[in-house]
Amino acid sequence: AEDVTVGEIYMMKLVHLADDKIHARSIGPYSLVTQQPLGGKAQFGGQRFGEMEVWALEAYGAAYMLQEMLTVKSDDVQGRSLMYETIVKGENPPEPGIPESFSVLVKELQALCVNVKLLEEEED
């Protein structure tokens, strides 16, 4: 014999509506320390691009897209404004700068008494 449910069965509507879930951002607030976009819809933040997403783009061979995601669209402060100017003027995109998260890493290492020097290559 099979079990049978006897009595009143309540059904409830799920309140997961697409209008409440959708979120997009072109510009918005950035973290004061790392200069990266804030996360989450509540803070009007950007979409997080994690380590596994980086691996996926590496495997796909999308080097330029990966470079843009990790510098200009993230925490390259000078690159943000330069990229906007080049898009408006129709020019080629500039070389990416040093991400602000690298500066934060250097400051943390300096706090541990590790001296970090950034050497630039000379162009021939």
Number of separate helices (H) and strands (E) present in the chain: 5, 0
For residue 6, being part of any structural domain is answered with no
Residue 5 lies in a domain: no
The pLDDT, as a whole number, for residue 114 is 94
Structure tokens belonging to residue 58: 């590496």
- The answer to whether residue 13 sits within a structural domain is no
User: Which H or E element spans position 13?
Assistant: none
| 67 occurs within a structural domain | yes
Q: What angle do CA 82, 87, 88 make, to 5 degrees?
A: 100
Task: State the CATH number of the domain containing residue 24.
Answer: 3.90.1800
Mean pLDDT by 10 residues, the chain (124 residues): 83 74 76 75 76 92 88 80 88 85 90 90 74
pLDDT tens readout for residues 1-37 = 888 878 887 877 777 777 777 777 777 777 777 777 7
- How many separate domains does the chain show? 1
* Per-residue model confidence (pLDDT) at position 22: 75
Q: Is 9 domain-assigned?
A: no
Is the whole-model pTM more than 0.75? no
Report if residue 89 sits inside a domain: yes
Would you say residue 4 lies in a domain?
no
**What domain range is 101 assigned to?**
18-111
117: in domain? no
